[in-house]
Structure 1
Amino acid sequence: MNKPNWYELDVVAHVSSPGLVFYEDRIRHNIDLLISMIDDKSRLRPHVKTHKSVEVTKLLLEAGLQKFKCATIAEAEMLGSCEAPDVLLAYQPVGPNITRFIALQERFPKTSFSCLVDNPETATSMANLAREHKTTIRVYIDLNVGMNRTGIHPDKAFRLYEYITALEGLTLLGFHAYDGHIHDSDYGIRQQKVTEIIHVLHDLSRQIEQRYHQKPTIIAGGTPSFPIYAVATDFECSPGTFALWDNGYQQAFQEQHFLPAAVLVSRVVSLPDEQLICTDLGHKAVSAENELSRRVTFLNAPNLVPVSQSEEHLVLNAGVQHGYKVGDVLYGLPHHVCPTVALYDDVLSVSSERPPEVWKISSRKRKETI
């Protein structure tokens, strides 16, 4: 699993490019490592937005994980189809999505679903629709702990907690705090910033306990902050990228020893001049939100320098007398794996224990059937 050329495929001659490959042995390693990093695996609520697949979800379930987090109703539906026991849609449904969320609950009764809310108006709309459908919606209050994307400021959260508690149709479970703005490579700086959030969350929790004599569940953090919450709190933790890992996180968070488990297969399709080679790894094949030099690193050709990228092509400078030929295979490690996975309908999965399989990325779309 850790051999230098671990990514090379015996079947590569039959693998279409551009293509994405999952390495199941490495995914299993990453799951085991994650569990070893926390005192109680019931505190783990892994985010499925990275892999978006039934098969990886089943690996997590087989490892004894019961709680999950997702970003879309399609991902929640995928989890429901796997009979995942506890699923948080880490999004506030508004408009027709509230009805979709209720339909989700009705479709998959073996799964306990919950979602986020951060204002009284949406909470009221959700409660009204829940009563109309003779059901109850389980919710967490979404807190803005510095990312300034969604959520209510913690100073205002107690009042919203009081409001929601009085609403028939909603069951309030606790708080959700995502700190995606904290991604410092320096662990000490990251720890300091996360510790400040922990103090805020503890203060809010004490207020709730004093008033309602019950301790709210707190779900906090993502992959960069996971090691800190894991040892410093009893919060539920929601890392996601750990399952596949990528070059960006491998470079930034070296204290976390997860293994890259998703690799892009690309081929040289043209030699436009004596120094340049053109591959089939365009915008449609690898996440392109970062600058050109931070989109993909080729494991078997780390010295290639990106020159330009378009929808279907990636041009690289290979230097003079490079020796590349049309048809040569390149194995690329994506810088950001989550949106890269979302570009593929299916992936090739390889394992030391079985022949290669095709796994569907079943929840890459915004909508499946609900």
Structure 2
Amino acid sequence: MEQAPWYLIDDVAQLDTPALVLYPDRVKHNIALLKSMIGDVSRLRPHVKTNKSREASRLLLEAGIRKFKCATIAEAEMLAMIGAPDVLLAYQPNEAKMHRLLALMKAYPDTHFSCLVDTITTATTLSELAVAAGLVVPVYIDLNVGMNRTGIAPGGAVLTLYSELDQLPGVRPVGLHAYDGHLRNSDLAIRTSECDAAFWPVQLLSETLTARGFAKPVIVIGGSPTFPIHAKRPDVECSPGTFIYWDKGYQTILPEQGFLPAALVVSRVISLPESSKICVDLGHKSIAPEGDLLSRVTFLNAPELKAVGQSEEHLVLEAGEGHSYKVGDVFYGIPNHVCPTVALYERGYTIENGLTTGEWLAVSRDRVITI
């Protein structure tokens, strides 16, 4: 007997669409694969921006992962709520976020919080607020290694800032942070060469700081594309995030990584607007509306369908003359970019053995949980 496709949901008639569905067995497979690729679990600091849920993050904790990275105060609080021991806010906080970060530190004293800075102005404000709160905030200098969005270029300015941070009360410099997400050549050899070139000045900074008498800086580096490369460096912490759910984009450009798609969007045909076209309930509000229209979603059970138009609630697809699709047909789509797609849903429904078994709330898609 032919085995049914892994993604099929036997009780899909009870599932309203559009819906985000999650496959916990595949999530666990991806976590196990991540650990096998690095060997030493203490060098993992996965980013939770992709999953945004307590349940998925707990699976990371249960796998022995103790360090985490996040982008928002809500994500940091979500991690603290489940008892994560070490949380890096990979963002330079403005003053409002500083107040919230310090409140988190007081509310969750068993979680070790830290954040990024790339300017003495920010660090000075943080220092003053931390002193007033009776706290010391560990900070990493954010380095710009080619993303050109935040951070400062590796060099003398970093050494100066590190020394200035060391003199400020209320903050404590502990390391360097660098995200090289622009390095995503599908040829691993080329990606490795580019990654090594971007990492070299970071390594040099670390060695220089150590030579000047500072404790050896912790280096937090990379994302999913460069994870297999940095995983081979014995003295860095790696912070991939997308691995937990994976998506079509990374599946295409990172063929050497064997993570499994573990999050899909389920949609239905809601109209037949023309003889060759169908319309499904997967608009801008239900799938990350970035990049080319043709690549935003790939339907596993209907890969030939081509998107020709999209609005807030609708996606129009070219199906060809004589197609057999009808209103009510169900499609299982893999997002091209899963992280912002997850952020569009307040919950993901878990699918186990073909059945809907529960839901994982994306609690940190909100900007505020309690703090």
TM-score computed with the length of structure 1 as normaliser = 0.98
The equivalent residue for 2:302 is 301
Partners of 1:202 and 1:353 lie apart in 2 by 48
- SS of 1:127 mapped into structure 2: helix
The equivalent residue for 1:12 is 12
Superposition map of 1:315-326 within 5 A: 315-326=316-327
The equivalent residue for 2:351 is 350
Partners of 2:356 and 2:122 lie apart in 1 by 49
- Encode CA deviations 1:306-327: one digit per residue, 9 max, x unaligned: 1100000000010111111100
The equivalent residue for 2:30 is 30
- SS of 1:356 mapped into structure 2: strand
Following superposition, the deviation at residue 197 of structure 1 comes to 2.0
- Encode CA deviations 1:109-163: one digit per residue, 9 max, x unaligned: 1111100000111100000000011111111110111111100111121100000
Q: Does 1:120 align with 2:112?
A: no
When residues 303 and 353 of structure 1 are mapped into structure 2, their CA distance, relative to the original with a 3 A threshold, is: closer
The equivalent residue for 1:361 is 362
Partners of 1:340 and 1:350 lie apart in 2 by 18
Partners of 2:242 and 2:369 lie apart in 1 by 23
Partners of 2:214 and 2:92 lie apart in 1 by 27
- Encode CA deviations 1:242-270: one digit per residue, 9 max, x unaligned: 00000000000000000000011100000
Q: 2:194 is aligned with what amino acid?
A: K
The equivalent residue for 2:65 is 65
Q: Does 1:86 align with 2:86?
A: yes
TM-score computed with the length of structure 2 as normaliser = 0.97
- Encode CA deviations 1:187-245: one digit per residue, 9 max, x unaligned: 11110111012211111011111111521100000000000000134200000000000
- Conserved in 2, the CA contact under 8 Å of 1:267 and 1:280? yes
When residues 277 and 186 of structure 1 are mapped into structure 2, their CA distance, relative to the original with a 3 A threshold, is: same
- Conserved in 2, the CA contact under 8 Å of 1:25 and 1:352? no
When residues 183 and 145 of structure 1 are mapped into structure 2, their CA distance, relative to the original with a 3 A threshold, is: same
The equivalent residue for 2:281 is 280
Cα RMSD after superposing both structures: 1.2
- Conserved in 2, the CA contact under 8 Å of 1:222 and 1:237? yes
Partners of 1:17 and 1:354 lie apart in 2 by 16
Q: Unaligned 5+ residue runs, structure 1?
A: none
Identify the range of structure 1 (154-163 vs 197-206) with the bigger mean alpha-carbon deviation.
197-206
Q: Does 1:178 align with 2:161?
A: no
The equivalent residue for 1:341 is 342
When residues 353 and 171 of structure 1 are mapped into structure 2, their CA distance, relative to the original with a 3 A threshold, is: farther
Partners of 2:298 and 2:189 lie apart in 1 by 28
After the TM superposition, which segments of 4 or more aligned residues of structure 1 sit over 3 Å from their partners? 352-355
- SS of 2:138 mapped into structure 1: strand
The equivalent residue for 1:153 is 153
Partners of 2:316 and 2:353 lie apart in 1 by 34
Partners of 1:349 and 1:360 lie apart in 2 by 10
Q: 2:176 is aligned with what amino acid?
A: F
Partners of 1:29 and 1:275 lie apart in 2 by 40
Partners of 1:12 and 1:170 lie apart in 2 by 52
- Conserved in 2, the CA contact under 8 Å of 1:84 and 1:111? yes
Partners of 1:66 and 1:297 lie apart in 2 by 34
- Conserved in 1, the CA contact under 8 Å of 2:11 and 2:354? no
Q: 1:90 is aligned with what amino acid?
A: A
Partners of 1:200 and 1:123 lie apart in 2 by 23
Q: Does 1:101 align with 2:68?
A: no
- SS of 1:363 mapped into structure 2: helix
- SS of 2:116 mapped into structure 1: strand
**Count, aligned residues:** 368
Identify the range of structure 1 (108-117 vs 179-188) with the bigger mean alpha-carbon deviation.
179-188
- Encode CA deviations 1:329-352: one digit per residue, 9 max, x unaligned: 000000000000000001101224
Q: 1:224 is aligned with what amino acid?
A: P
The equivalent residue for 1:210 is 211
Partners of 1:99 and 1:330 lie apart in 2 by 45
When residues 353 and 21 of structure 1 are mapped into structure 2, their CA distance, relative to the original with a 3 A threshold, is: closer
- SS of 2:303 mapped into structure 1: coil
When residues 54 and 314 of structure 1 are mapped into structure 2, their CA distance, relative to the original with a 3 A threshold, is: same
The equivalent residue for 2:40 is 40
When residues 200 and 233 of structure 1 are mapped into structure 2, their CA distance, relative to the original with a 3 A threshold, is: farther
Following superposition, the deviation at residue 354 of structure 1 comes to 8.6
The equivalent residue for 2:315 is 314
When residues 18 and 353 of structure 1 are mapped into structure 2, their CA distance, relative to the original with a 3 A threshold, is: closer
Partners of 1:191 and 1:73 lie apart in 2 by 33
- Conserved in 2, the CA contact under 8 Å of 1:70 and 1:88? yes
Identify the range of structure 1 (150-159 vs 246-255) with the bigger mean alpha-carbon deviation.
150-159
